Amino acid sequence: MKKIETRMAAGLAAALLLAAYSAGAQSHPEQEEAPNRPGFFRQLGTSLKNAGGQMVGVKPAQGGAKAAAGAGAIYAPVSGGGKLPGLFKGDNHQLAQQGKLDWPRVALTYTEWGASLPCWTVEARIWTSPASSTTETFRTCASAAVTETDDLGEVAELNDAALWKGKDTLRGIRVLPSKPNTGAQRSTGPNPPAQPFQVNVSRDAVANRAVEVALRAAWVSGFIQTADLHPGASGLLTPFKDSRMWIAGFNAGGNRDR
């Protein structure tokens, strides 16, 4: 009887030992592989980076100059010195992004406008100091192609996602608390309103068209550049704090929707 009990105990001990070994063998590979699997935040960061990269893009300009002409001109001077094109391109753009530059400044007044008007007439008051300014008038079309010459020397056009990001960037600008501004009151300068491109307009079509037109002026002047539409290493876009361009208002006599 004792021999039988001894054999049963030995068998039970062996079975338990084998089960423990099997469990350890099954769990061990997972422990070794775990450090090689990306964590949730790394995966999320990669997804954000990819998503951010997909938000911005350029596509070859279709049809060259003929296509651009069909969409209307992005800048057609009417009167004045023609200083707006490239006005901001000589600046240190990193400092501009951080809101650390004060001059020049540009106030945009729409003198001919309307939701049904494809091309608007704009008066730009360019400030080079608190007491010195000049004005010029130009036309720009809300559907005009926004293009640049890429590193291959080819003309490329911003795609729809990039244009949306550009408009969102303008709408999101807020004047830094340390800088003078006119609050909710729009002005031709020298100080901008607190929200430079967020116009208080009840007609959504006009408000959206106003920002589309402003984006073309911002692009021509170099106020907004491709670097402002690309995400950084984190996959997030760099906050844009430059408030040196703004929508000053609408000329009441220029409403072409009546």
Other C-beta atoms lying within 10 Å of the C-beta of residue 199? 20
pLDDT in tens, 98-143: 999 999 999 999 999 999 999 999 999 999 999 999 999 999 999 9
CA-nearest of 160, 109, 113, 179 to 141 is 113
The mean-pLDDT minimum among 48-62, 70-84, 146-160, 161-175 falls in: 48-62
Contact between 173 and 239 (Cβ < 8 Å): no
What are the residues facing 125 on neighbouring strands? 107, 135
Q: Which helix (H) or strand (E) holds 105?
A: strand 105-112
Burial of 160 from C-beta contacts in 10 A (0-12 / 13-18 / 19+): exposed
Is 169 exposed, middle or buried, given 0-12, 13-18 or 19+ CB atoms closer than 10 A?
Answer: buried
pTM to 2 decimals?
A: 0.74
Domain ranges for the chain, please list them. 2-37, 58-254
Question: For tokens 């049904």, what's the residue?
Answer: 116
- The Cα 103–Cα 172 span in angstroms is 20
Q: What value does the mean pLDDT take over residues 176-196?
A: 96
